[in-house]
Chain A
Amino acid sequence: MGFLDIKKATKSYGAMQVLHETNISVEEGEFLVLVGPSGCGKSTLLNMIAGLEEVTSGEIAIRNQRMNEVRPADRNIAMVFQSYALYPNMNVAQNIAFGLEMHGVPKPKRDEAVRDVAELLQITQLLTRKPGQLSGGQRQRVAMGRALVRDPDVFLFDEPLSNLDAKLRVDMRTEIKKLHQKLGTTIVYVTHDQIEALTLSTRIAVMFGGHVQQLGTPKEIYDNPANMFVAGFMGSPSMNLFQAKIAVANGVPQAEFSLESGQIGVLPIVDPSVASHAGRSVILGIRPEAITDLDGADRNSKAIHTVKANVEITEPAGSDTFVVSAFGGTEITGRFRADVDVKPGDVFPFAVNMEKAVLFDPETEQRI
């Protein structure tokens, strides 16, 4: 039993099922991020936790109390919306205090709570302004203040940063993380941005097509994606996924794949049990940072192997240079050090850290 339990929850609109049976148990103080492309069911799930959408079957429980029939106002939750949803006719202080007022908190206590929250979020000087007079970042803070002041059991965030410009988004991300560490509250956070998910969360649920594809810590999700969708969705540039064939040489399993030059690239696989798949086609997944120039390769890895391949394009990105080639007929990207001298048309040794490689079944798209 966790703090917030989602048990066999589903959601359908008529015949259309938008959320398939979902089980997630969130511990007190956890920061759970629901991430996925639009239409994956993440916002629906969040709205079900909030009580804004009915649960078709299954149960939502907070502190072991079934919440399905409880009104949103009585669930002791607070929510930060994508549009911030600040009441345009009220000033900042009234916005923050509205929830307390509705719950019958007397005025002096409300004022005190608003003051405290405003101080915490450094928006004291904005309290008498109307939402229309605030910048995007300030509105964001007010929206958080409105949630914080309620001192709820669970905070729900619905893509709270997606309306901010790139720089502000990074700043606010850090602030949300700080706030979580300081207050230790339980948070469920919806985003489509995988970087937000990785940086903020203690655990991530990657969702697609109404299913939770994988639930785990950011490291688990990143290093051990459960399937090709998770592998491709999390990380930027996304994980290279290309076709290879398993063969066994000297008792060691290896992946063989075609190169542009017509030659066959060979990469030995670390896990000896893969030998049992000899002769089968697989999808090999390797992150760009595990494909480097030789000097840039991870010194701690015991499985660096090189593949000589044609360089098709180079994309200098300041700190790194992304180098594009083709493995197994698919474009792959390697992350080279910025000052490596490499030009399109070169045949260059790509150093691959096979400790980080993962294998997928091409039929089921699941991890092998």
Chain B
Amino acid sequence: MAGGASDTVVRTGRTSRFVIYTILTVFCIYYLLPLYVMVVNSLKPLDEIRGGGMLSLPQAWTLAPWSSAWSTAQIGVEATGLRPYFLNSILMVVPAVVISTLLGALNGYVLTKWRFRGDTIIFGLMLFGCFIPFQMVLIPMARMLGLMGLAGTVPGLVFVHLVYGIGFSTLYFRNYYAQFPTELVRAAMIDGAGFFKIFQRIMLPSSGPIAVVCIIWQFTNIWNDFLFGASFADFDSQPMTVALNNLVSSSTGVKEYNVHFAGAIMAALPTLLVYVVAGRFFVRGLMAGSVKG
């Protein structure tokens, strides 16, 4: 995205500028409101929420909902809090992101710099795999994980996310490497570098920006996944999203809204942090993924 590089030349008068800023501000409030609701209500006692004070700041500030959500809240049958599931998510996300990014880089390199007959078809097949409704693979995948001995385990989830992450990783790296001058690869060939040497010495050192984009994309997608987690995880291998949903929708006992909100923020925090820290790349990545096919 051309960060303000070429704004429109359209001119606007003072009144219309006032209206524009007002509208933009109203929508800022709209987008921030749920976040505000989550934050303030995670910091107040339950009775303040019940008393119709959802939009007010806490009168008695408290961190109790946070500690409850983290370590003592009832998830499913056990009162473990979200901590073990947070760990599951980390253990699931890191290997899946690293491996799918590496594979995507290699695939993108082959598909742009070592082209062969039919490469576009192969890329098309991989790309279509990104868009299928995953309901279509749930039944056979459950069986396959069983056959592989990975059913109900974190490595099983890693594998699933890896398989269905390859398409997007390949898309990112292919689009990026397509812009990468082929003459550089030719020069390196004449200089005597082989397939892997060119990748390692010429391509990889220039892949920083797209690697960041790809990692952010995969991280967000895999961290936020619910369907695979709900389908393939056992109680002790559930990721954060599934545990959060269990916490919120458990029908037994009192609804501890403040604990739910604290848990929701915990589930959102890693991706939100990544987004704030590397937001520019994130935007650019989304653009690359959707505007260019």
A-B contact number at CB 8 A: 60
Q: A72 to B189, Cβ gap below 8 A?
A: yes
Complex interface: chain A residues within 8 A of B190 (CB): 50-52, 72-73, 77-79, 99
Considering only CB atoms, which chain A residue lies closest to B180 in the complex? A88
Given A87-B188, A98-B188, decide whether A81 and B193 contact each other with a Cβ distance below 8 A. no
Asked if B184 is an interface residue, CB under 8 A from chain A, the answer is yes
Q: Which of A71, A73, A89 contacts B205 (CB 8 A)?
A: A89
Complex interface: chain A residues within 8 A of B201 (CB): 87, 98
Asked if B183 is an interface residue, CB under 8 A from chain A, the answer is yes
Complex interface: chain B residues within 8 A of A146 (CB): 187, 191
The distance in angstroms between the C-alpha atoms of A50 and B181, with both chains bound, is 18
Q: Which of A71, A85, A150 contacts B183 (CB 8 A)?
A: A85
The distance in angstroms between the C-alpha atoms of A277 and B192, with both chains bound, is 58
Complex interface: chain A residues within 8 A of B206 (CB): 88-89
Considering only CB atoms, which chain B residue lies closest to A75 in the complex? B190
Within A184-208, the residues touching B (CB, 8 Å) are none
- For the complex formed, measure the closest distance between the CB of B260 and the CB atoms of chain A, giving whole angstroms: 48
Asked if B17 is an interface residue, CB under 8 A from chain A, the answer is no
- For the complex formed, measure the closest distance between the CB of A90 and the CB atoms of chain B, giving whole angstroms: 8
Given A88-B206, A102-B197, decide whether A73 and B189 contact each other with a Cβ distance below 8 A. yes
Asked if A83 is an interface residue, CB under 8 A from chain B, the answer is yes
Interface string of A64-108 (1 = CB under 8 A from B): 000000011110011101110111110000000011001100000
The distance in angstroms between the C-alpha atoms of A51 and B190, with both chains bound, is 8
A interface bracket (residues with beta carbon within 8 Å of B): 20 to 34
- For the complex formed, measure the closest distance between the CB of B117 and the CB atoms of chain A, giving whole angstroms: 10
Complex interface: chain B residues within 8 A of A89 (CB): 202, 205-206
- For the complex formed, measure the closest distance between the CB of B205 and the CB atoms of chain A, giving whole angstroms: 4
Q: A85 to B192, Cβ gap below 8 A?
A: no
Asked if B186 is an interface residue, CB under 8 A from chain A, the answer is yes
The distance in angstroms between the C-alpha atoms of A85 and B191, with both chains bound, is 12
B interface bracket (residues with beta carbon within 8 Å of A): 10 to 19
Q: A85 to B187, Cβ gap below 8 A?
A: yes
Considering only CB atoms, which chain B residue lies closest to A88 in the complex? B206
Considering only CB atoms, which chain B residue lies closest to A158 in the complex? B183
Complex interface: chain A residues within 8 A of B184 (CB): 85-88
Complex interface: chain B residues within 8 A of A88 (CB): 184, 206
Q: B192 to A99, Cβ gap below 8 A?
A: yes
Within B131-183, the residues touching A (CB, 8 Å) are 181, 183
Q: Which of B181, B186, B192, B205 contacts A79 (CB 8 A)?
A: B186
Q: Which of A51, A83, A99 contacts B191 (CB 8 A)?
A: A99
The distance in angstroms between the C-alpha atoms of A241 and B134, with both chains bound, is 70
Q: Which of B183, B192, B197, B205 contacts A81 (CB 8 A)?
A: B183
Considering only CB atoms, which chain B residue lies closest to A98 in the complex? B191
Q: B183 to A83, Cβ gap below 8 A?
A: yes
Considering only CB atoms, which chain B residue lies closest to A50 in the complex? B190
Q: A85 to B197, Cβ gap below 8 A?
A: no
10 shortest interchain CB distances as A-B pairs: A102-B192, A99-B191, A73-B192, A89-B205, A85-B187, A85-B183, A81-B183, A72-B190, A85-B184, A72-B189
Sample of 9 more A-B contacts, CB < 8 Å, known A51-B190, A85-B183: A73-B192, A73-B193, A74-B192, A83-B181, A83-B183, A85-B187, A89-B206, A99-B190, A150-B191
A-B contact pairs, 29 of them (CB 8 A): A51-B190, A72-B186, A72-B190, A73-B190, A73-B191, A77-B190, A78-B190, A81-B183, A81-B186, A81-B187, A82-B183, A83-B181, A83-B183, A85-B183, A85-B184, A85-B186, A87-B201, A87-B202, A89-B202, A89-B205, A98-B188, A98-B191, A98-B193, A102-B188, A102-B191, A102-B192, A102-B197, A146-B187, A146-B191
